[in-house]
């Protein structure tokens, strides 16, 4: 296990017990275990930023995933 894997585990499984702050939507107040889920929520529910493939129109919620998808072409 890596340190980041441990932190992810703590946030997902034990955040409430350990007082670890969860990413929270500033618009509706919904809590998430990881930042990616908050970014996806913002894009889907509140019109947040998405990254669309100019070839196939696939939609990504993180810029890194969109760029990685272009490398597969």
Q: What is the pLDDT of residues 6-65, one digit of tens each?
A: 877 877 778 777 777 888 999 999 988 888 889 889 888 898 888 888 888 888 776 655
Write the CB contacts of 31 (distance below 8 Å, at least 6 apart in sequence).
22, 23, 24, 25
Decide if 5 contacts 13 (C-beta within 8 A): no
At residue 72, does pLDDT exceed 70? no
Decide if 24 contacts 42 (C-beta within 8 A): no
- Per DSSP (E only), the strands in 23-62 are 51-52, 59-60
Report yes or no on whether pTM surpasses 0.75.
no
Decide if 45 contacts 28 (C-beta within 8 A): yes
């Amino acid at each position: 296990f890596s340190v980041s894997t441990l932190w992810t585990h703590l946030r997902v499984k034990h955040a409430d017990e350990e007082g670890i702050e969860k990413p929270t939507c500033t618009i509706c107040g919904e809590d998430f275990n990881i930042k990616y889920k908050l970014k996806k929520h913002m894009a889907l529910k509140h019109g947040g930023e998405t990254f669309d493939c100019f070839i196939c129109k696939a939609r990504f919620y993180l810029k890194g995933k969109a760029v990685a998808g272009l490398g597969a072409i």
